[in-house]
């Protein structure tokens, strides 16, 4: 296999063109020990190393671009890279590298999710479901869930808005069902009704 061209690509990488038409992303620092130049012949082992490294660098660049648009979990990045066709080795390299750099931080990401959806009146269960959907590790999700504020204030505000001053039993059932769909625990909802001098019938 012959190197037919080496051309700059951005600030930190180059494109290595092979005589079979493949264009590989390469880090100039990786090429220094090989002392590659246009016209050089590559062994099969060298080609394999360069192809593997190209996949890793491509996955890393793609993942970094994704994170520049919005924060994402390690699992979300992993899924997105796999969907784009990167192999397991390249995906693992990119995710581990970005975790090491602090660009992927599932705990901080989970806190952002909790604050965002908590401000929209979601309860702990719904927020936990969102953690799961986004691929947040269970241990991280549990740790952040423990830091979620007491739901009493949020439930009270929703009760005032939805139930009014003198709700009948049908209205209380509807509001209770609404709060449970929002992810609040039944015991927390019942306690909120009692703070308003109301009881809810047990099913």
pLDDT tens, 117-134? 887 878 888 888 999 999
Q: Can you give the pLDDT at residue 203?
A: 57
Q: Of the ranges 79-83, 140-144, 160-164, which is most confident?
A: 79-83
Q: Can you give the pLDDT at residue 200?
A: 75
Q: Can you give the pLDDT at residue 202?
A: 65
Q: Can you give the pLDDT at residue 149?
A: 64
72: closest CA among 101, 97, 105?
105
Task: Answer yes or no: is pLDDT of 98 > 90.
Answer: yes
pTM above 0.85, yes or no: no
CB atoms within 10 A of CB 100: 9
Task: Answer yes or no: is pLDDT of 146 > 80.
Answer: no
pLDDT bracket for residue 161 (50, 70, 90)? confident
Task: Answer yes or no: is pLDDT of 179 > 80.
Answer: yes
Query: What value does the mean pLDDT of the chain take?
Result: 89
């Amino acid at each position: 296999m012959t190197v037919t061209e080496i051309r700059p690509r951005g600030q930190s990488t180059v494109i290595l063109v092979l005589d079979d038409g493949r264009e590989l992303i390469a880090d100039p620092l990786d090429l220094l020990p090989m002392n590659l130049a246009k016209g050089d012949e590559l062994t099969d082992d060298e080609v394999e190393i360069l192809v593997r490294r190209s996949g890793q660098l491509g996955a890393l660049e793609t993942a970094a671009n994704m994170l520049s648009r919005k924060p994402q979990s390690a699992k979300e990045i992993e899924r997105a890279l796999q969907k784009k066709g990167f192999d397991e080795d390249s995906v693992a390299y990119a995710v581990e590298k970005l975790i090491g750099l602090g660009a992927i931080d599932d705990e901080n990401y989970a806190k952002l999710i909790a604050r965002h959806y908590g401000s929209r009146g979601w309860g702990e269960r719904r927020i936990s479901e969102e953690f799961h959907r986004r691929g947040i590790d269970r241990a991280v999700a549990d740790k952040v869930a423990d830091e979620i504020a007491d739901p009493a204030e949020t439930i009270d505000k929703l009760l005032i808005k939805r139930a009014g001053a003198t709700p009948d039993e049908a209205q209380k059932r509807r509001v209770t069902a609404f709060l449970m769909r929002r992810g609040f625990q039944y015991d927390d909802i019942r306690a909120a009704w009692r703070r308003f001098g109301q009881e809810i019938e047990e099913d």
